[in-house]
């Protein structure tokens, strides 16, 4: 079986050291050593490029990078015809953003997903986007044109046109400049030199890969859309956090970029990212959310249910093995919270809940272990420390003893908690009190450690624990206190829940299941795609991507317009070359049903699987 060549598309992640999604991508690439990977990375800041790359495995053939945080003018001087093409395409793109799709509320998902946006709006946006891509390829770039006064004027005409969004009609000149600057940054992948099929003297690009795998949605998937547009390369999109949801939630916050908090700007940018997400979901061969919560968001934003495959994130279970397999030596009266300290974790409710617990369990202790997330996290940590000092003044058991506070704030790496595994091992119950969560990584880590958990019902919490932990409503300190107190008083129940949680984590959330799932998905996608590059073995026979299911039995088998001969090669059966004279219109389906390991079956949600090409009715 010849190796697949995968174009891995990232934004602000792998292979940079400081990338958020770098660890997951590195595990995937290292786990699929039988395939070749080319990395196409968009950096998000100078700090990333200064920090450098992680050590890359040998299966990475090359890395091509481009910045999103800065870009020099390409210096391309458009002629009259090219300027007219740009004005028409950019004007169409702006008109598609300004069209009312059923909602005028800034940041609303109405009108930007499958339920609100009409097919004509989606086609109009796609036609304009690919028109700009064709122009960039013909002229050598778009950066200068996207920064030009003509782009702002085209955007203004679309905002003032009849039928435009109410917020767009109210846009002022600073709003138009902010929107044009954001679109210029988001559309920079159109001007990159990444799109080539490697023919002749041209460097190898996305046109020569067998599959594009976008490690996130949004701008990271845009090069994959262009590879599909220019070369029919199939696209796989993985979203452990839905980028469109993140944009909606962050567009109106104080942390939003300068100028992007105005109503008109939020409305137009929400329309752009909504249209881009809809086009990405429409063109992708498969979309893999990390949990059901993300899956529901993707469906709401336009993803076809038939293309969705849930693949849980893979985590290294070995570092928690000693905690999970060993005896429970933790303090039976201690609650542990582990994570990044920030307002979304709602430690204030946890502290108030612990005050209720102390009234019935005076020996109870709470250990908050984690580092603050940025300046906001440091301010929130200071507030929590002051609240803990007010709720739990230091008390001494006797006049000659030193007072002690039952709440401690610690960081991993200190003398008390040197490792992450020991942080979870420090308590009998692990608590999650968040008001907002995507995939709760800390909860899965506690499950690997065999700990009973009490969590708020947010994000993918219920899906992750699957009945192996207790769940309470968010922002409800009384319910949190009653549930934690019940577990502290019942060691047998804690042991049962912890054992069940560890078994579930080992089944669903390991690196092995994640890698096996993507290996099978790669083969399924390529088996349904036209053969774009050929490889021959030593005998001159074609090397397939995977072994067809019928090749496991000797003899001749007739499939979809072609025949496959099962021959004995090495330790297993392999497919021989197709018989001459058969119809070339339909290639031999190289299915993956016989090759992926059995663990990939349980790691992917059985709901709405990606259809697999069958061997045909002619097999006998």
pLDDT digits (tens, 9 = 90+) for 1-17: 568 999 999 998 899 88
C-alpha to C-alpha distances, 304 to 111, 215, 285, 297, nearest whole angstrom = 17, 19, 10, 12
Domain boundaries, the chain: 5-67, 80-307, 318-509, 539-603
Tell me the backbone φ, ψ of residue 28, rounded to 5 degrees. -65, -50
Give the tens place of pLDDT for each residue, 419-435.
999 999 999 999 999 99
The two tokens of residue 161 are 């046109």
Q: Is the pLDDT of residue 546 over 60?
A: no
CATH of 318-509, one of 3.40.50.2300, 3.40.50.2000, 3.30.360.10, 3.30.470.20: 3.40.50.2000
Which residues have C-beta within 8 Å of that of residue 414, sequence separation ≥ 6?
Answer: none
Judged by average pLDDT, the poorest of 114-118, 461-465, 548-552, 588-592 is 588-592
Mean pLDDT over all residues of the chain? 81
Q: Is the pLDDT of residue 112 over 70?
A: no
Exposed/middle/buried for residue 541 (C-beta within 10 Å: 0-12, 13-18, 19+): middle
The two tokens of residue 350 are 């946890």
| Mean per-residue pLDDT, 252-278 | 77
CA-based nearest residue to 521, from 611, 449, 436, 583: 611
430/324: higher pLDDT: 430
- pLDDT category at 414 given cuts 50, 70, 90 is confident
Relative to beta strand 235-239, strand 5-11 is: unpaired
Alpha-carbon gap, residue 30 to 13, rounded angstroms = 16
Give Dmax over CA atoms of the chain in angstroms: 98
Alpha-carbon gap, residue 6 to 450, rounded angstroms = 37
Q: Is the pLDDT of residue 482 over 80?
A: yes
Helices and strands counted in the chain (H then E):
22, 15
C-alpha to C-alpha distances, 4 to 38, 48, 235, 294, 428, nearest whole angstrom = 11, 29, 14, 28, 46
| Mean per-residue pLDDT, 56-83 | 85
Q: Is the pLDDT of residue 564 over 80?
A: no
Q: What is the pLDDT of residue 30?
A: 93
- pLDDT category at 393 given cuts 50, 70, 90 is confident
In the DSSP assignment, the letter for residue 585 is: T
Q: What is the pLDDT of residue 553?
A: 47
Which residues have C-beta within 8 Å of that of residue 382, sequence separation ≥ 6?
Answer: none
In the DSSP assignment, the letter for residue 117 is: S
| Mean per-residue pLDDT, 362-368 | 95
Q: Is the pLDDT of residue 381 over 90?
A: yes
Q: What is the pLDDT of residue 96?
A: 93
Q: Is the pLDDT of residue 309 over 90?
A: yes
- pLDDT category at 385 given cuts 50, 70, 90 is very high
- pLDDT category at 612 given cuts 50, 70, 90 is very low
Q: What is the pLDDT of residue 563?
A: 34
Q: Is the pLDDT of residue 373 over 80?
A: yes
Q: Is the pLDDT of residue 190 over 60?
A: yes
Q: What is the pLDDT of residue 120?
A: 80
Give the tens place of pLDDT for each residue, 587-599.
333 433 333 433 3
Q: Is the pLDDT of residue 318 over 50?
A: yes
| Mean per-residue pLDDT, 542-556 | 49
Q: Is the pLDDT of residue 116 over 50?
A: no
Q: Is the pLDDT of residue 500 over 80?
A: yes
CA-based nearest residue to 293, from 145, 165, 116, 463: 463
Q: Is the pLDDT of residue 395 over 60?
A: yes
Judged by average pLDDT, the poorest of 121-125, 176-180, 508-512 is 121-125
pTM (two decimals)? 0.78
Give the tens place of pLDDT for each residue, 435-455.
988 889 999 999 999 999 999
Q: What is the pLDDT of residue 471?
A: 97
Give the tens place of pLDDT for each residue, 193-234.
999 887 666 678 999 999 999 999 889 999 999 999 999 999
Q: Which residues pair with 456 in a beta bridge?
A: 472
Q: Is the pLDDT of residue 556 over 70?
A: no
Q: What is the pLDDT of residue 21?
A: 65
Q: What is the pLDDT of residue 101?
A: 58
C-alpha angle 72/73/78, rounded to 5°?
Answer: 160
Query: Which ranges of 75-216 does DSSP label H, i.e. alpha helix?
Result: 80-98, 119-139, 143-146, 149-160, 166-169, 173-186
Judged by average pLDDT, the poorest of 8-17, 123-132, 508-517 is 8-17
Q: What is the pLDDT of residue 44?
A: 82
């Amino acid at each position: 079986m010849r190796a697949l060549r995968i174009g891995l598309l990232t934004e602000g992640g792998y292979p940079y050291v400081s990338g958020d999604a770098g660890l997951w991508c590195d595990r995937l690439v290292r786990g699929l050593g039988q395939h070749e990977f080319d990395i196409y990375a968009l950096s998000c800041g100078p700090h990333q490029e200064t920090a450098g790359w992680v050590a890359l495995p040998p299966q990475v053939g090359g890395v091509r990078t481009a910045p999103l945080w800065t870009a020099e003018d390409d210096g391309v001087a458009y002629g009259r015809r090219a300027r007219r093409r740009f004005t028409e395409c950019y004007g169409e793109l702006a008109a598609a953003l300004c069209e009312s799709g059923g909602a005028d509320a800034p940041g609303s998902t109405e009108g930007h997903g499958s339920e609100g946006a009409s097919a004509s709006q989606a086609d109009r946006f796609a036609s304009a986007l690919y028109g700009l891509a064709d122009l960039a390829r013909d002229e050598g770039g778009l950066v200068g044109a996207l920064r030009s006064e003509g782009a702002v004027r085209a955007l203004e005409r679309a905002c003032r046109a009849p039928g435009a969004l109410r917020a767009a009609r109210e846009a002022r000149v600073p709003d138009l400049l902010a929107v044009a600057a954001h679109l210029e940054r988001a559309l920079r992948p159109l001007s990159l030199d990444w799109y080539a099929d490697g023919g002749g003297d041209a460097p190898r690009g996305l046109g020569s890969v067998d599959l594009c795998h976008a490690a996130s949605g949004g701008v990271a998937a845009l090069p994959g859309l262009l590879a599909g547009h220019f070369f029919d390369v199939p696209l796989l999109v993985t979203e452990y956090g839905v980028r469109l949801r993140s944009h909606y939630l962050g567009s109106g916050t104080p942390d939003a970029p300068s100028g992007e908090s105005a109503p008109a700007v939020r409305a137009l940018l929400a329309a752009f990212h909504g249209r881009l997400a809809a086009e990405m979901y429409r063109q992708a061969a498969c979309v893999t959310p990390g949990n059901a919560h993300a899956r529901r968001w993707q469906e709401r934003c336009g993803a076809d249910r038939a293309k969705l495959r849930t693949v849980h994130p893979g985590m290294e279970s070995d570092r928690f093995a000693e905690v999970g397999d060993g005896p429970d030596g933790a303090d039976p009266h201690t609650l542990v919270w582990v994570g990044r300290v920030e307002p979304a974790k709602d430690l204030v409710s946890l502290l108030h809940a612990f005050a209720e617990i102390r009234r019935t369990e005076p020996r109870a202790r709470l250990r908050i272990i984690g580092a603050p997330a940025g300046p906001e996290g440091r301010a929130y940590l200071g507030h929590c420390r002051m609240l803990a000092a007010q709720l739990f003044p230091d008390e001494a058991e006797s006049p000659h003893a030193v007072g002690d506070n039952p709440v401690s704030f610690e960081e991993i790496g200190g003398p008390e908690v040197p490792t992450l595994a020991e942080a979870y091992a420090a308590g009998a119950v692990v608590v999650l009190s968040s008001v907002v969560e995507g995939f709760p990584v800390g909860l899965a880590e506690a499950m690997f450690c065999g700990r009973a958990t009490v969590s708020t019902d947010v994000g993918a919490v219920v899906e992750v624990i699957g009945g192996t932990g207790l769940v309470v409503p968010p922002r409800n300190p009384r319910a949190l206190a009653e549930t934690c107190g019940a577990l502290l008083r019942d060691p047998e129940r804690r042991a049962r829940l912890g054992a069940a949680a560890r078994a579930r984590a080992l089944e669903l959330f390991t690196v092995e299941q994640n890698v096996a799932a993507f290996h099978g998905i790669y083969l399924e996608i390529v088996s349904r795609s036209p053969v774009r590059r050929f490889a021959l073995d030593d005998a001159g026979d074609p090397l397939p991507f995977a072994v067809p299911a019928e090749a496991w039995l000797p003899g001749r088998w007739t499939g979809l317009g072609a025949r496959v001969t099962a021959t004995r090669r090495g330790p297993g059966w392999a497919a021989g070359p197709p018989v001459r004279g058969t119809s070339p219109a339909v290639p031999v389906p190289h299915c993956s049903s016989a090759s992926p390991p059995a663990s990939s079956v349980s790691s992917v949600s059985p709901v709405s699987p990606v259809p697999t090409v069958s061997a045909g009715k002619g097999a006998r």
